[in-house]
Amino acid sequence: MRRGGALFRDRQEAGERLVPALAALGLDRPIVFALLRGGAAVAAPIAAALGAPLVPFLVRKLGVPWQPELAFGALAEGGGEPVLNSAIIRACGLTPAEIAAVHAREETELLRRRAVYLAGRERPDPRGRPAILVDDGLATGASALAALRALRAQGASPLILAVPVAPEESVAAMAGECDRVIAAEIHAIPAGIGGCYRDFHQLEDAEVLALLDAAARKDAP
């Protein structure tokens, strides 16, 4: 690891680190799906390098009320049932009412983000096309799992998960949910994903929209 414990300078560098392994797959007409918001900054250099469309994908983590960074599940766009982690739910003693309250709050935020990020944007049909799902790291994997299952249901094939950093156990857990997991670093994350970056600022709506708009201009004929 670099001085200070960081593996990456920022999300852009992390995305650039993933490009060689993804390019080597030789995918035909891939679509790069960015898990918002942090995944957008990682996915942007990947989409540019592969000449692929950069497509936002909406997922909301369902966090334990008193420890929001600990996900007990995730909700993906499309209105399907959330993915839940029964082990974490049992360990934390979450009640059905607590689960329902978090679900309702995150569903509201998902709808807000849909209006912000997806309105007026054309998104390619993933059916029969390679899909690369990109996030800024893999911790419990709840968000990635929900997104992978949603993309699989939409017919994307092959389905690749690309993350800058992930613990070995998380990579193994995702292996059965997609055709390939690409990680720049297989590494424990005792300080969380943010601890792997020197710059891990929270991306605001405007920054994400700027990344998406810049990618759309490159795709325009």
Residues facing residue 67 across a β-bridge? 64
Domain ranges, ordered by start, for the chain:
3-219
More confident: 64 or 119: 64
Q: Tokens 């680190």 map to which residue?
A: 17
Integer Cα distance of 177 and 140 in angstroms: 14
pLDDT at 17 over 50: yes
Q: How far is CA 21 from the centre of its chain?
A: 18
Token pair for 24: 């080597």
The contacts of residue 85 (CB under 8 Å, 6+ apart) are 71, 72, 73, 140, 142
Render pLDDT for 109-139 as a digit per residue (tens, 0 to 9). 999 998 999 888 888 999 999 999 999 999 8
Render pLDDT for 144-168 as a digit per residue (tens, 0 to 9). 999 999 999 999 999 999 999 999 9
CATH number 3.40.50.2020 is the correct assignment for the domain at 3-219: yes
Integer Cα distance of 130 and 76 in angstroms: 19
CB 164 within 8 Å of CB 184: yes
